[in-house]
Amino acid sequence: MKKLTINPVATIYLFFNGLFSFALAFFFATYVPFLVEKGMNLWQVNVINSFFMLFVILAEMPTGSFADRFGRHHSITISCFLLMISFLMYYFSQSFWLFVLAEIVGAIGQTFVSGAAEAWLVDSLKARDEFYLKEKVFRQELTSKSIGLMIGCLLGAYLGNINLSWPWLATAFFMFLAGIFSLIFIKENYVRETSKDSKSGFVKQVSEAWHYGVKNKELLYIMSFCGLMALSVQALNMQWTLMFKNSYNFSSLNLGYLFVSISIAVALGGKISKKFKNWFKNEKLLLIIPQLITAVAIIITSQINGLVLVTSAFLLHEFGRGIFSPLKQDYMNNRIESEKRATLLSLESMFTKLGAFIGLIASGFLANSFGINLTWFLSGLFLLIGVFIFFIIIKKPVVAKTP
């Protein structure tokens, strides 16, 4: 297999993902503490973020269709600049509804890139007769993102120790640079396949892609599974900073170092996913076992005490999520036609964000009323039940395809 370092498509894709993740990560360790400093409680924090998920759900397929019709490179560039505007709004905002407005702009920006970047990679590789490289690139994508996230989050944590607003300025600046990089380097040097729905309007294209995705049971099951996982882990996504800050007196800088550990755990999971494909030839098991690891680790995290034990179990759940991500991407792209790729990947993202939206509302209420530990326990239990349901529903064994 050719080394990815001499593959221009993979190099651009991996560098962009690293830069994009680096830009995003500046506020990851300080997001919730920043909103709390501005007077928000846990419930309000989750409601603010739920507007992001809601507008992602509404905009996912139209923006995915935009990418398929007018170019994935245009869509990716628009995403970067809209996100930059959203981050600047966060820096200047002081009230609940201004934060909500910033989330809405950010949500629309996020939908322009979700699906579009992955579709650009896969079809660019396909045009170069290098379709077989996609699964390897997906694994390396996790490493690229993790490196960007680690560096960005640490720098953001340093800035947050001085002023919790400063990470928003930094993330806006580097997202602007990501947009410039996209504008210059992400080109569609391939002819996108055309079909009847590519000549039709947005509504018809989105409708046909929706019905295609829903009627294809393999795609429907995996999209539903992704939504279930997003629902279950949302409590941990939103509350880990407060849990470690309140229970173990973590500073912003300590939270930054913990996020570095999270990124390493996710990257290691992505690396080990290749071995999973060798160990389990059945795609059903490939998708279920990482989720099982995640669910059990969440339950353990909620039931134990002590910094070392809690941190280890928490990182184990992130490790399981890292294993699942490239396997899910490979599974999806093996079953999607090129002309519908960005739209259907946006549909999968929509299912995920719908799960996250429900998870935000539920976990925010539970944490505010009953505490973080019980919320995490119920989240892990819900995912565990979902894993067994998914195992029962997919009765027919599926043999994993070799890339």
**What is the CATH classification number for the domain harbouring 116?**
1.20.1250.20
* Predicted local distance difference test score (pLDDT) of residue 76: 96
Q: What pTM, to 2 d.p., does this model score?
A: 0.73
- Read off the tokens for 247: 């229970």
Which residues sit opposite 282 in a β-bridge?
399
Using DSSP's 3-state secondary structure scheme, residue 96 falls into: helix
If pLDDT is split at 50, 70 and 90, which confidence band does 198 have? Answer: very low
If pLDDT is split at 50, 70 and 90, which confidence band does 402 have? Answer: very low
Whether the per-residue pLDDT at 325 is higher than 90: the answer is: no
* Predicted local distance difference test score (pLDDT) of residue 340: 66
Cα dist. 110→99, 128, 184, 317, 349 in Å?
A: 16, 28, 20, 25, 10
Whether the per-residue pLDDT at 3 is higher than 70: the answer is: no
pLDDT digits (tens, 9 = 90+) for 372-391: 999 999 999 999 998 888 77
Helices (H), 165-306: 166-185, 202-215, 217-248, 252-279, 283-303
Q: Does residue 180 lie within any of the structural domains? A: yes
d(CA 348, CA 178): 24
Please state, as a whole number, how many other Cβ atoms lie within 10 Å of the Cβ of residue 399. Answer: 9
Q: Does residue 192 lie within any of the structural domains? A: no
If pLDDT is split at 50, 70 and 90, which confidence band does 150 have? Answer: confident
Q: Does residue 398 lie within any of the structural domains? A: no
Mean confidence (pLDDT) of the chain = 84
Q: Does residue 402 lie within any of the structural domains? A: no
pLDDT digits (tens, 9 = 90+) for 53-84: 889 888 877 887 788 888 899 999 999 999 99
Whether the per-residue pLDDT at 255 is higher than 80: the answer is: yes
Q: Does residue 403 lie within any of the structural domains? A: no
Q: Does residue 376 lie within any of the structural domains? A: yes
Q: Does residue 167 lie within any of the structural domains? A: yes
Per cent of the chain over pLDDT 90 is 40
Whether the per-residue pLDDT at 197 is higher than 60: the answer is: no
Q: What is the mean pLDDT of residues 120-146?
A: 84
* Predicted local distance difference test score (pLDDT) of residue 6: 61
Question: What number of helices (H) and strands (E) belong to the chain?
Answer: 15, 0
Q: What is the separation of C-alpha 347 from the centre of its chain, rounded to a whole number of angstroms?
A: 14
Q: Give how many domains the chain has, as a whole number.
A: 1
d(CA 391, CA 358): 23
Whether the per-residue pLDDT at 38 is higher than 50: the answer is: yes
* Predicted local distance difference test score (pLDDT) of residue 399: 41
Q: Does residue 361 lie within any of the structural domains? A: yes
- Read off the tokens for 352: 């995920």
Domain interval for residue 112 = 4-187+200-393
Whether the per-residue pLDDT at 134 is higher than 70: the answer is: yes
